[in-house]
Structure 1
Amino acid sequence: MQEFFKFKELNTNYKTEIIGGLTTFVTMAYVLAVVPKMLTNAGFDIHTALVLVSISIIISTLAMGIFTNRPFAIAPGLGSVAVAVSMVSENSFSTGVMAGAIFLSGIIFMLVTFLGLRQLLINAIPPALKYAISASVGLYIAFIGARSAGLIVAGKKSLVWGDLASKGVLVCVFGFIILLILQAKKVPASIIISIILSTILSILIGHSQMPSSFFALPMNPISAISQRISEFDFLNSLSFSIIPFVIALFIPDFFSTFGTILGVGTKAGFFDKNANMQGIDKCFKIDASATAAAGVVGVPCLCTYLESSAGVVAGARSGFSMLVVSFCFLLAMFFTPLAIMVPSAASAPAIIYIGICMFMGINKINNDDFTEMFPVFVCVVFTILASNIANGICVAIPVYVLLKIAKKDFSFSPLLYVMCFISFMYFYTLIAR
């Protein structure tokens, strides 16, 4: 085992890898409390969602550890979950079509990765639009979190404050304050700690109840997978109205994975002096394949998790630590009552916080250049005003190209013209409905 995972070469040992794996698990364990709850807004049964998300994490993280020997954990990206859920809750697509769109984004990711087109796409999307999409998705995630806790509700003409005296809002505000304090103090696993404390408060004030048992056999995985596969609708996901959602799913997954591998890999010392990491393509191939496979059962895009950095800081250097992470998630499946008893109000602060962190990337935009700044503003505003991520993207891309042409700046990639055409076709489908 030590030879397979190259312990000597990586200067590590069992103890260090186990501690690193446990640290990564604790840091990202909030996924089990957050993602299944979000998927219930798309019509998923909570038990089905929990099992499918757990299995996806276990298998994909295990594959990453074994085939790449890197300490990178994989789980559903919250941005992708928000996009997928909005397809059903805001745009009335079926969960089968949603699964088809996720699968399609995974196939595109696989083609881009296996054909070596990654660098071409990275260069085609201008930085301003990358940050715009990330910021829009982040703000939308924060909005979903606030709405799930009842902090923000739909009024007669606009969004308004909910019942600020309600128990759900009290739990949400309490959890958010705790999370901010822990983050300011740089306390490890601050997200999961805030969720636990908020859940305890929720139980104490009667907003939620303790489960009758902490231990329970998980739902039959074969039954859960069969149910979702029977609803898989790939053919109806091949329409212009779906393309913007596929883009919204693909871009955050692709670039967050790229950025995470670069960031965590650098922290772990995997990159040489020329900024190259041996086997980086294997990481992308595992990530892309996992997204496509999980998409068939409706689990939104799996991506390499930034929380892997916590394990790296704790000493993890090999894929063995990912075996530890997978085993921990396997054990967690037998304690599903603990995850299910977490109310939306307790997980909402984590969703809001993560959304705000994604939005903060907007500070990298060149505010002195109107042609860079305005498309970002348009993307963010129309995403929120229309409660639709696809709308924001499809407005921002043509605006970006138009402003660049007006400025006689043709430095952008010709692929953006293709994206403009796709955006126009998307709005045509909305008009023709």
Structure 2
Amino acid sequence: MIKVLSPFTGSHKRAGISRSGYGRRGGVPHMIGGLVVLIGAAAVGPVVAAQAGTLVFVEAQKSGQGAVTGLSLPRAVAVSPDGENVYATAREATNSTDGTIVAFSRNAATGALTFINTLVHDDVTNPIAMRGGAWDVVVSPDGAFVYTASFSGSAVGIFGRSESTGELSFVGSALVSTAMSVAISPDGAYLYAAAANTDDRDDLHVFSRNSATGALTLVEAHRDGANGVDGLAGARSVTVSADGLDVYVGSRTDKGVAVFRRNTGTGELTFVEFESVGGMSSAQDVDVGVSPDGDSVYFAADVDDAVFAFDRNPATGGITLVQTYQDGVNGIDGLDDVGSLAITSDSRHLYVAGYGDQAVAHFKRSTSTGALTYAGLSQDGVDGIDGLNGAFAVAVSADDSNLYVAGYADHAVAVFSVTQGAPPAAAIIPAITPIILD
């Protein structure tokens, strides 16, 4: 028995690459008894899986569309460790003093979001926690509390989180002048807050955290220029290494990364060094991240439209600048006005929000060297993508299956699925068309 197959003659488009006319090659007719078949050259099958880490647009949740409210001018986004919820902080466009936290439930299978509710500036008993819209948001490792950094309110906001519904309730706040960023140690015992001061006020605050109530108690504070500390002027971003041994602070005024060794028992910090990325201009927005494997530190600065890669010494926490990845150089795109980055838990992919490019750039990361390879971008208005106008902040779900982007000018949270695994070998399908003769 001869099984005769017809060729694919349609068009396939995925991730911005168009492939058309698969299998449309000329064939040669052959007679087999009363049956004539047109046997063509073998053709590559039409479906070729996207590379691992490729982003596929799912949806955009926009303020004023459907039930969503309070998502005007979002600045930060976070995914709960259990993957059940996504939280975004925003500043109301009609009133610069009003801030919100918008809660969504997350579909673990698709990453799609469903609006739960919006906590508004006026809903809390101490509105400084949300004044002007928080610049950062983080969920505690146990998932019980959410913390925000309010520059205008000079406070870290504390919110209780319902495990069953994901809804938030205001708990209290801790004073941090011009708070810009918050990070929690992996054990959940300490919180670190960076402040954008350029005068004689404290720039980095260390708090112990009550896991039962969420309350914060000040342990110590560090100031740029005091006790040998450098690199904290205009502190914009703070993060803790996955091993809990070090804290890294990204500065927009000093434009570089300050390194602190961390006492895992007390949470206290010891200044190690400051690594500048050079240049004369201060940045307006920066971000710093540590790869989960602990081998690399990455610093993004909008004034340079670049991501700076550092090797990290796990024994000391010290870092060494090894490479710069800049918009428009060596084919790299999507880094115009870069201001936020996120790294997958397997340390294999890095995503960067480019505010000016209205895009998210994707880099593959070598787990042996930490080197990055540009792998493309997802851009607002291209291939149906929406919600990336003014891409401001990015967050990856704990299972690495979704990326969430705060689209500042789109008043939106854009949702992407992250392609998993390596692409299979292309199928070889013979192009055979049957022709029956009477």
Q: TM-score range by the shorter chain?
A: under 0.3
When normalised by structure 1's length, the TM-score is: 0.21
Higher relative contact order (CA closer than 8 Å, sequence separation 6+): 1
Structure with the higher helix share, 1 or 2: 1
Structure with the higher strand share, 1 or 2: 2
When normalised by structure 2's length, the TM-score is: 0.21
